[in-house]
Amino acid sequence: MKRRTKIVVLGSALLLTAGVASAATASDTPRQQATASDTPRQQAAASDAPRQREAAALTGTAELYRSAGDDITFSFDAHLAAEDKADPSKATGTFEFSHYLNGEGARAEVKVDCLLTGGKVAVVSGVITDSDLPGAEGKRVGVTVHDLGRHDRLGYSWAATGSPVDAKELPKCVSSAPFEKVLKGTGDFTVVPWQPEL
């Protein structure tokens, strides 16, 4: 009788251990995205799966401070996916900027082609896809952002190279130091730091 009891207890312990091990394995394995063919329960489980942090990002909109009252706005939606962490030139997204004073100026939309971030500093570059500045389309520009909370700073490649229209081919992810200040209360930029495996 004692031997039979020991076997039952041992069998129960083995089943319990196997159950815990399989549960741990299931929780350690990333769940896949839900598909249309999944059951509602599978879709709910997939939506609860932990998401992988993107490798880098620069987002937000704000105006720059100018004592003369220039209306200068920058807006960013640039991202580097986790799977592309080793290659900043695989960044995607867009950014826009405009500069007007006394009703004169220009605006541009840019397709991102590189994003590098370190700590709270980001350098993003891209090619102008749409602009009312003649000759600007097809030119690469770069912008630097220092995310300092309510005191963000910004710089841009054309501060050193002159108008994007006149500048020679600019390499990817090249810009100037962030020397401009964001106008208080007009917005904020957010930088997600890049963490490469060095």
Q: How far apart are CA 35 and CA 160, in angstroms?
A: 49
Assign 183 to helix, strand or coil: coil
* Alpha carbon distance 79, 48 (integer Å): 23
**19 vs 82: which has the higher pLDDT:** 82
Number of neighbours of residue 94 by Cβ within 10 angstroms: 14
Question: Does 9 have pLDDT greater than 50?
Answer: no
| Sheet containing strand 56-63, strands side by side | 180-181, 153-156, 140-146, 121-131, 104-118, 92-101, 71-80, 56-63, 188-192
**pLDDT tens digits, 115-169:** 999 999 999 999 999 999 999 999 999 999 999 998 999 999 999 999 999 888 9
Both tokens assigned to 174: 């090249």
pLDDT tens-digit readout, 20-45: 333 333 333 334 455 556 666 656 55
Distance CA 194, CA 105 (A): 34
Higher-pLDDT residue of 27 and 177 is 177
Confidence at residue 41, expressed as pLDDT on a 0 to 100 scale: 61
Q: What are the b/e assignments for 9-47, b being 16+ CB within 10 Å?
A: eeeeeeeeeeeeeeeeeeeeeeeeebeeeeeeeeeeeee
Give the closest residue to 105 by CA, choosing from 129, 59, 73: 73
Residue pair 58/145 in contact (Cβ under 8 Å)? The answer is: yes
> Tokens 């995205």 correspond to what residue?
33
What pTM, to 2 d.p., does this model score? 0.74
CA separation for the pair 48, 86 (Å, rounded): 27
What is the model's pLDDT at position 40? 60
